[in-house]
Structure 1
């Protein structure tokens, strides 16, 4: 008898687990922070309230259609209105809204409470990358779309996007943060409105020029959590991912010390563990030494393919043809969205480069503008000396411009 009961029960359990997995695939993610779990709980609460209301309303519809059909009761009712019904359908929605508002208000208060933060990170949006600064820690960097995705997205690249891991959702520099730490994010923008969004953290905030918005997170689990800009910030809006890597606090401190070059820090050991992502969005740690060695090899291959070391690039005298070839690639990646492939720009915000006084004038002025930005143009100081020299040379010798060659050493001399 027990065997006959066990088989159906196991079968029903398996179906239930499978159904839950299928629903979870399409449902809002739970996330890895206290706020994200509360938001998910509210989402499910409201969902079931709406389901109950829908079932009740449509049941009343179908009952009315069935009970009062012409063949059953051809004589219509003669009453015009009912005070009781009016009161019920006014009071009942009010009670439902109040019942939903009470837990939602508590969560909203928590979302806005960034007090007692243990560390702060300034997040600045640029077209089209992110700048991160660990406030008070003397370390900042830029984070943009990784090279593999950037190559694959180019028209005519011949690269199958499905062959690129985390296509359009990987960056060259991840934002590394400690777990079990309340982190306050200060968000602003250098040019247009962006929005910093990582679904696993449960919150999203706009980055607005001239304003500082706040949000916070305390990440419970080590892992890699991906997001992207959630504001239509321009032509290349879809190429502005966010990648947050959460590691244990001790490992974070070692990584940060290595990045700052603190005395006595072990740089090799300070690299964060590159955690492997599972289908559920959680992750497990791998051996830091092996990953660091693999990353070093990958970086070496990428650097050999894309650019020379900074010291060599700064001292090398490059030929015009080599600078033009590299400069065209840099221009198409970073400049074409605003200045167009034809160099005509989008006046008045982005002027034409054809015969421009900046492009045809003193190269020092143009180099400083590329390094530091101007008006709506963001700074591109994260580019190497060779890349900046190449793109400046490219603009000074394209579209009938003929304004000479700029070398990496010229750029290196002007860096602050």
Structure 2
């Protein structure tokens, strides 16, 4: 008896844990009015389906039990019933109309960006996100954080593995924000579940969405459209801060932008160019050309001993700036600054066994733009 009690207790515990864990699979309620409306719509439809299932299966089970042959039940013999036809046609129509009213309201609200107080342009790249703040004059690239890259082939996975970036998108709380979403290469999808925003980023087109975030915090998302080999490595991290903290962050970013302009005017040493170039390469180039410059045979070319990294330096600069048509090589003209491009080209021409001895200065990049 004690063994049976123990077994039943364990079974109940397992069922309870599984039952509670199912709630983690439900739709995210979110921190915006749109996400809460979508969640409410989802739950309303869910409970309507539950009620229909209970009614239908109750009638079926009742009929199977009461009208069985062993009880002397005789099947009715009729061709059609006008009342039955009207009932099972009319009732579903009424249910669908009643569900369509709040659904239409939510869809209209989802597409209405007319009350936006600020705009963020989001551009998808293989495999990173670019964020532009037109009014503030800020632009930056958000890549998978280096500690996640280092952990890809390691058994020691840290918290938020593959869900951390080097530059978080920062937004003010209680502000209606319009997102303009596009792509520079293939189709991506910008998805943050807590905002109720999931929008395709299509090359050559601009889709829009909006959100007014009610709670300060850090929210994470991912690219939700299969976009190539590193699709799983382009997460989204958004820091929602107070309006005062946002103003301070904008000021800091603008100061950093001014400092980078100053950097592009100075002459850099080989040591400084190589050091910066290695960081830029690991962040932007290593996913295709490999951390050791060997590339991926048949897919992405190696830089070690390549005709680009050991050939005409002007051609090398031109490919990094403008990309290469018909290949996955993207244009970095509007992604990286003059100093970053100069540094990464210097690094590529003097690493992986490419001892060219070339130094590319930011002024060279500025002239080639």
Q: How many angstroms apart in 1 are the aligned matches of 2:277 and 2:208? A: 43
RMSD of the TM alignment (CA)?
3.7
Deviation at 1:82, TM superposition (A): 1.4
1:361 to 311, 317, 320: 311
The 3 A distance-change label for structure 1 pair 187 and 330 is: closer
Count of aligned pairs:
339
> Are positions 1:377 and 2:334 aligned together?
no
Greater relative contact order (CA < 8 Å, ≥ 6 in sequence): 2
The 3 A distance-change label for structure 1 pair 412 and 57 is: farther
Query: How does the TM-score come out when normalised to structure 1?
Result: 0.71
Q: Is the 8 A contact 2:146 2:283 kept in 1?
A: no
Q: Is the 8 A contact 1:179 1:248 kept in 2?
A: yes
In structure 2, the residue matched to 1:241 is 235
Q: How many angstroms apart in 1 are the aligned matches of 2:22 and 2:267? A: 53
In structure 2, the residue matched to 1:335 is 288
Deviation at 1:20, TM superposition (A): 10
> Are positions 1:185 and 2:137 aligned together?
no
Q: How many angstroms apart in 1 are the aligned matches of 2:350 and 2:144? A: 24
Q: Is the 8 A contact 1:117 1:182 kept in 2?
A: yes
Using the TM superposition, name which of 74-83 and 310-319 deviates more: 310-319
In structure 1, the residue matched to 2:12 is none
Deviation at 1:404, TM superposition (A): 5.2
Deviation at 1:334, TM superposition (A): 2.6
In structure 1, the residue matched to 2:37 is 38
- Equivalent residues in 2 for 1:85-124, closer than 5 Å: 85-124=84-123
In structure 2, the residue matched to 1:391 is 348
Deviation at 1:364, TM superposition (A): 2.2
Q: Secondary structure at the match of 1:77?
A: coil
Unaligned runs of 5+ in 1: 1-17, 268-308, 398-402
Q: Secondary structure at the match of 1:54?
A: helix
> Are positions 1:200 and 2:169 aligned together?
no
Unaligned runs of 5+ in 2: 1-16
1:217 to 211, 218, 221: 211
Deviation at 1:28, TM superposition (A): 1.2
Query: How does the TM-score come out when normalised to structure 2?
Result: 0.80
Q: Is the 8 A contact 1:127 1:191 kept in 2?
A: yes
Q: Is the 8 A contact 2:289 2:303 kept in 1?
A: no
Q: How many angstroms apart in 1 are the aligned matches of 2:18 and 2:273? A: 63
Q: Is the 8 A contact 1:176 1:244 kept in 2?
A: yes
Deviation at 1:313, TM superposition (A): 10
